[in-house]
């Protein structure tokens, strides 16, 4: 999960949202990485997800399903929100979970 979060953030950092939207390959890479994050979240055991109750796990899982099955309905504001708000907030939670697993 962390690799995909960091990949998205590093490849979109400093770019205007309109610039991101204008780059077909970047948009597809972001969408694919979000799908991978979603699938990884789904595979986390519930007892592990419960250690980070502020993370909207079901929404994260849901967006992956949405991108896979209803991609034609994706809203630009949803992608903007994921990039600007949700991924930066998810990153520290994933780091904390990884630290607990390593510790």
**Domain residue limits, the chain:** 2-102
Taking the alpha carbons at both ends of the chain, their separation in whole angstroms is 19
Q: Are 34 and 1 in contact (CB under 8 A)?
A: no
pTM over 0.85: yes
- Taking only the tens place, the pLDDT of each residue in 46-81 is 999 999 999 999 999 999 888 888 877 888 888 889
Averaged over 9-29, what is the pLDDT? 95
Chain centroid to CA 102: how far?
Answer: 22
User: For residue 28, which phi and psi values (nearest 5 degrees)?
Assistant: -65, -35
**pLDDT over 70, % of the chain:** 100
């Amino acid at each position: 999960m962390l690799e995909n979060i960091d990949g998205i953030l590093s490849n979109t950092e400093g770019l205007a949202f309109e610039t991101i939207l204008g780059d077909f390959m970047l948009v597809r890479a972001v969408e694919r990485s979000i799908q991978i994050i979603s699938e990884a979240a789904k595979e986390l055991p519930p007892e592990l997800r419960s250690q980070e109750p502020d993370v909207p796990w079901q929404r994260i899982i849901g967006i992956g399903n949405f991108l896979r099955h209803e991609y034609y309905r994706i809203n630009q504001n949803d992608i903007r929100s994921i990039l600007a708000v949700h991924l930066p907030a998810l990153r520290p939670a994933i780091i904390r979970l990884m630290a607990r697993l390593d510790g």
